Chain A
């Protein structure tokens, strides 16, 4: 099972909004509302920011929102702040013989 497809990098200026896409297949993203997103700062552990496609854990800013359409999930960050600069990974449950969970390759967000 291949990794979910994310853009390698995105960028935006403070205050702007950006969207990161995550494309899978009908065996993962397209079939299950079990998409999650993680933020990872350099040298740190990942942090859960979205689960069940569009739910935010307690304490996560409402500047983070997410959705899904077909085989593609999306994460939107509004009102970009310097501290949002990090790597972002999508993740999905997968009906696969090789793995139950598949991550995206990661997207480096640069705040200009």
Chain B
């Protein structure tokens, strides 16, 4: 069974750091691009970051650029999100999401997320 399981969330003070982990199973991680998407309480979805299969290409939404770092260890079937200088507005459920395989997409990366974890809650508060 294809599965993503996030961990590492919790309560942190503004300015603090957290490292989220996403354990994957049921597929070859190196063959897939991965993402983090967040959802503030009662709000909509917000894409946070993207990482290529080999780990060499990374993208971030503006609001986290320079503060968050996405990474992966394919041998450990894991993806990570290092979050530094956390702000109150970073409070959200953070989902790990797999990109739909390019083989199914008309032009390569279709920027669609076909497998999601259950999410891990990050609360930034003093």
Query: Residues on A close to B: CB < 8 A?
Result: 3, 33-34, 36, 38, 40, 45-48, 51-52, 55, 57, 89, 91-93, 97-106
**Number of B residues contacting the other chain (C-beta, 8 Å)?**
25
Answer whether A99 and B61 are a contact pair too, CB < 8 Å, given A45-B95, A89-B44. Answer: yes
Q: List 19 A-B contacts (CB under 8 A).
A: A3-B44, A34-B112, A36-B112, A46-B45, A46-B95, A48-B112, A48-B113, A52-B112, A55-B104, A57-B100, A57-B114, A89-B45, A91-B111, A92-B111, A98-B61, A98-B62, A99-B61, A102-B47, A103-B44
Q: Which 6 A-B pairs have the closest CB atoms?
A: A51-B112, A101-B47, A36-B112, A45-B116, A98-B62, A93-B111
Query: Residues on B close to A: CB < 8 A?
Result: 35, 37, 44-47, 50, 59, 61-62, 95, 100, 104-107, 110-114, 116-119
Tell me the complex Cα distance, A104–B37, Å.
13
Option from B46, B47, B62, B110 in Cβ contact (under 8 Å) with A51: B110
Q: Which A residues lie within 8 Å of B59 (CB)?
A: 100
